[in-house]
């Protein structure tokens, strides 16, 4: 599976050279993550609590209270930084500055992870500016650092949560918002979690962010260059979500990769006044 993913990334680099830097960074970090021992496991200790939460429409975990080994996550964050500083990048100076910050103040990386998980965009932006990195890069590193642990949590819930039965606009596992959506071969709409990669069913004519069902306030636009891709938006809350139509797209990449190679759709959405997050 790891080799297949790396192969997909290489093909995407050839297909979409404009995203070569972002994809190359992702590839390098995935190589490191694949080297980790498969000892990251999690088991739900109280099944009754899990069943009650899911029945009442609550996610099993919350972003702020995830059962993560913060020390291990911080250590992995440092290793990811070390890996990236070996490459020639435009932000190499910032990456080195961040690595020096980790060495000088180990608490800093824990603050980065906490800020990322709490979705505190303002504080994360300030922390990124301190080390001369863009907020997007710092957020990406934090996300990659928690990725193996989130995968373990998601896998532990695989048999316990039925994605066809969960019909809320937030992830049933960690409560995060979706970052992508897709239509399956039958035209059903599924959302993809921005944090743990969980997927679940959601009504086509409903905003996942504000639950708006008014068809006059819901819409979408497409890009002439990207058949099978569209951006769904809600005029009520002003948010949008990128959507893939699996009935049209041949051999789509994993949604986490599709999210990376469709940043031009984010730009188009934002130019039209829509936001990925609440403003």
Helix, strand, coil shares, percent, the chain, to 5: 50, 10, 40
pLDDT given at position 41:
56
pLDDT given at position 278:
65
Query: Can you read off the two tokens belonging to residue 222?
Result: 């497409």
**Predicted confidence (pLDDT) per residue in 156-208, tens digit:** 877 777 766 788 999 999 999 999 999 999 999 999 999 999 999 999 999 99
pLDDT given at position 53:
65
Name the residue among 267, 228, 274 with its Cα closest to residue 250. Answer: 228
What are the domain boundaries of the chain?
Answer: 36-156, 178-271
pLDDT given at position 37:
60
What length does the chain have?
279
Measure the CA–CA gap between 204 and 121, rounded to whole angstroms: 29
Measure the CA–CA gap between 250 and 127, rounded to whole angstroms: 40
Burial of 187 (0-12, 13-18, 19+ CB in 10 A): exposed
Measure the CA–CA gap between 107 and 137, rounded to whole angstroms: 19
pLDDT given at position 36:
74
Tokens 């190359």 belong to which residue? 24
pLDDT given at position 251:
78
pLDDT digit string (tens) for the chain, length 279 residues: 577 888 889 988 988 888 888 888 889 888 888 877 655 555 555 655 556 566 667 888 889 888 888 889 999 999 999 999 988 888 999 999 999 999 999 899 999 999 999 999 999 999 999 999 999 999 999 999 999 989 888 888 777 777 667 889 999 999 999 999 999 999 999 999 999 999 999 999 999 999 999 999 999 999 888 899 999 999 999 999 999 999 998 778 889 999 999 999 999 999 999 988 765
**Terminal Cα distance for the chain, rounded:** 38
pLDDT given at position 50:
58
């Amino acid at each position: 599976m790891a080799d297949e993913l790396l192969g997909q990334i290489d093909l995407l680099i050839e297909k979409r050279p404009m995203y070569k830097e972002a994809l190359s960074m992702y590839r390098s970090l995935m190589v490191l993550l694949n080297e980790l021992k498969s000892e990251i496991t999690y088991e739900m200790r109280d099944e009754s609590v899990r069943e009650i939460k899911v029945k009442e429409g609550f996610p099993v975990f919350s972003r702020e209270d995830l059962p993560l080994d913060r020390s291990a996550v911080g250590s992995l964050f440092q290793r990811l930084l070390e890996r990236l500083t070996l490459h020639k990048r435009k932000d190499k100076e910032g990456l080195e500055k961040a690595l020096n910050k980790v060495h000088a103040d180990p608490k800093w990386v824990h603050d980065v992870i906490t800020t990322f998980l709490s979705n505190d965009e303002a504080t994360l932006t300030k922390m990124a500016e301190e080390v001369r990195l863009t907020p997007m890069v710092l957020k990406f590193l934090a996300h990659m650092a928690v990725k193996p642990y989130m995968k373990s949590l998601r896998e532990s819930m695989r048999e316990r949560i039925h994605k066809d039965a969960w019909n809320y606009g937030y992830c049933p596992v960690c409560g995060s918002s979706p970052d992508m959506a897709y239509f399956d071969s039958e035209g059903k709409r599924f959302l993809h979690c921005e944090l743990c990669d969980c997927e679940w069913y959601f009504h086509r004519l409903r905003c996942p962010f504000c639950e708006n069902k008014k068809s006059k306030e819901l819409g979408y636009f497409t890009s002439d260059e990207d058949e099978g891709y569209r951006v769904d938006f809600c005029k009520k809350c002003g948010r949008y979500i990128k959507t893939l139509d699996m009935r049209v797209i041949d051999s789509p990449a994993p949604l986490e990769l599709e999210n990376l190679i469709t940043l031009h759709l984010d730009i188009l959405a934002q130019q039209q006044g829509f936001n990925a997050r609440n403003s």
